[in-house]
Amino acid sequence: MWLPMTLSIATHDARPGHAHDVSVDTTFDFLNTLDTEDGFPHETLPTLDDALSWFADRGLIHVEGADRARREAAEWPDAAGRDIERVHTVRDALREVADAVVEHRVPRGSALSEVNRALHARQVIELVAGSDGVHVDHRHVGDPVDDALARLSDALVRELTAGEPERIRVCASDTCNWVFYDASRTSRRRWCDMATCGNRAKQARHRARKAEAADPAEPAAPTA
């Protein structure tokens, strides 16, 4: 495929730790913002304000961009409603793609369209000259929400195309459902977090064994 490329110094943000720092872990953290509590979905990013703070905290957007988006949201609440809806829609679509990878199946076409739309929305990927050669960089050209969603999507796409997608996991705990990246040497991690989910699963198995042991098929007659 022929791609039009110009080698130039872009007007990108050169702040260290900003341009290249979206890892697939951040994308999975984003997917896990739709959490599960007592078996029910629990939304931890219910408003655009929450989402902007979440993006800014992780360096996905600039604080100034978040502030500008907040001012615009106050002025145009309808647009803010559409923005948070888009955040949720893209998150659902990325989750569907991750689930499909884990389950070795084809993702829904609508999810692919949504992720592709997010990838193309605003972000410009281009080659830039660096001190030691050429780099790939992102240029921020528009809406900070679109930009954050593009970068989060991009991290998953990079994992699928150039990473180790077979290490993408969904936590084995029935009550968790988090997506995580298994970076373990043996690639056999089953829980998002051994200290919480893994431990809970262990305790549940332990309790089940104890209950079994304490409840034999023929209960002993009480001696009196």
Binding region for Zn ion (CB under 5 A): 171, 173, 176, 178, 192, 197
Minimum Å gap between C-beta 198 and Zn ion is 8
Q: What are phi and psi of 170, to 5 degrees?
A: -115, 130
Tell me which DSSP letter residue 108 carries. P
Minimum Å gap between C-beta 191 and Zn ion is 5
Minimum Å gap between C-beta 31 and Zn ion is 13
Minimum Å gap between C-beta 200 and Zn ion is 8
> Which one, of 194, 171, 196, 195, lies nearest residue 181 by Cα?
171
Nearer residue to Zn ion within complex by CB, 55 or 178: 178
Nearer residue to Zn ion within complex by CB, 28 or 55: 28
Nearer residue to Zn ion within complex by CB, 48 or 192: 192
How far CA 206 is from CA of 120, 138, 198, 213, in Å, comes to: 49, 50, 12, 11
Nearer residue to Zn ion within complex by CB, 32 or 153: 32
Is 43 within 8 Å of 51 (Cβ atoms)? no
- Alpha-carbon dihedral of residues 92, 97, 101, 106, nearest 10 degrees? 120
Nearer residue to Zn ion within complex by CB, 120 or 202: 202
Minimum Å gap between C-beta 28 and Zn ion is 12
> Which one, of 189, 170, 179, 185, lies nearest residue 152 by Cα?
179
